[in-house]
Chain A
């Protein structure tokens, strides 16, 4: 198993916010959002909201969920499961690890 791709320093992601990692870096079909919860755990989901076009990295991260900035659907950070309409499809989660303040991403691996 690989050690993952180093995609950011933890400090690059403000608490309760997210940043997007370009698909050119991750080799995935979509950009990947790194989302830092209010308890400082970092999660990763496909960046494009499953409802329309918003970037989940621009969403609101709190208490285990990210709220889409556009129409407020909420996704579970851990599983990607959608919690409220208008989105009806789950977001795809990816495995992330934080080691020594560095964030490593494992695109395509389930968390």
Chain B
């Protein structure tokens, strides 16, 4: 029987594991070890936290009292340095052993740093932690020349936040239409074009090198040199798999898990950004991490796992709120509900009369409906979906 669960990492995946264990009636000990001050939420780091309109307390995943109320022992400012599955324990900084019947790895990841010469310059930033955001914010002063490398989700959000703070922003990416696979080509192109409408200069190119100059940091972009006050890399994340690897668990571009989040060692589970379901690419989204936590808790308790739903993520840029659900790359064709000039609109991806994906701008409700249409495999007529006068909730009733 599982008496004591140790969760390594207090991001959304780790905290959700703890919360789900309790919600599902786990009566044993739950210990959450986290390297930081307290578990906080990451999506605001590139949004409200970066502008300074929310402070660290306001992005706490749970109020401090919650840990007491839920009998979750939070060991903060502490790193797990090794897994000792054979001893039934994990090792903490300083060598102390913490006994555990089950260990849940919720270690997240770090920002990727591609091998570009000159990257060690202090004016080059990444964004994964609150410390990163605090440091970056100091550089985002009005008039500052900021180069953002990578126009994916985080790069685009940083560019949008920086321009709002009055910076002169250049956004560079070798890909012409970033996020086309996730959002569909039309919406992705519209979103990328939004940057230019908000005074962000977009450049389709690759960064070759950085050099420290008295007047700033020089970046060579497709052979052309430009000087900036700060550089932000938003080029992806690297899953934290070191503990798993050192403990001999199977790792391949992520900690390999089965559909119940169990790693190649039955005493160890993995959740969130670093976990990868065999045969499927890793996801790096907030809700996927939350659902992993709920599934891991069900596995530990031996209860049925929650039914998986279509994957969902959101992003915010230039004051617009974008949500997407499902697999747009699996769509044979798309229908647009409303028009790209409307204040709100959505794109649905269809395949054989079924919705397989949807993305909306400032219309979360359309995505909530789409998710149900996808999960319940409710057949739809494209024309009705495209008609903004047709109530989407009505379509759910068939």
Q: How many pairs of A and B residues are in contact by the CB < 8 Å rule?
A: 33
Q: Which residues of B contact A58 (CB under 8 A)?
A: 365
Number of interface residues of A (CB under 8 A): 14
Q: Which of A30-45 contact B (CB under 8 A)?
A: none
Chain A CB within 8 A of B72 CB: no
Q: How far is the CB of A18 from chain B (nearest CB, A)?
A: 11
A88 interface neighbour in B62, B365, B368, Cβ under 8 Å: B62
Q: Which of A60, A67, A69, A85 has the most CB of B within 10 A?
A: A85
Q: Which residues of A contact B (CB under 8 A)?
A: 14, 16-17, 58, 60, 67, 69-70, 72, 83-86, 88
Give Cα A58 to B363, complex, Å: 13
User: DSSP class of A's interface residues: helix, strand, loop or mixed?
Assistant: loop
Give Cα A27 to B258, complex, Å: 52
Beta-carbon contact of B365 and A69 below 8 Å: yes
Q: Which residues of B contact A60 (CB under 8 A)?
A: 368, 372
Task: Flag B284-297 by CB within 8 Å of A: 1 or 0 each.
Answer: 00010010001000
Q: Which residues of B contact A14 (CB under 8 A)?
A: 393
Beta-carbon contact of B23 and A83 below 8 Å: yes
A70 interface neighbour in B294, B364, B396, Cβ under 8 Å: B364
B287 interface neighbour in A67, A70, A72, Cβ under 8 Å: A72
Give Cα A95 to B98, complex, Å: 46
Q: Which of B62, B66, B364 has the most CB of A within 10 A?
A: B364
Beta-carbon contact of B364 and A69 below 8 Å: yes
Q: How far is the CB of B233 from chain A (nearest CB, A)?
A: 27
Beta-carbon contact of A17 and B364 below 8 Å: no
Q: Which residues of B contact A69 (CB under 8 A)?
A: 364-365, 368
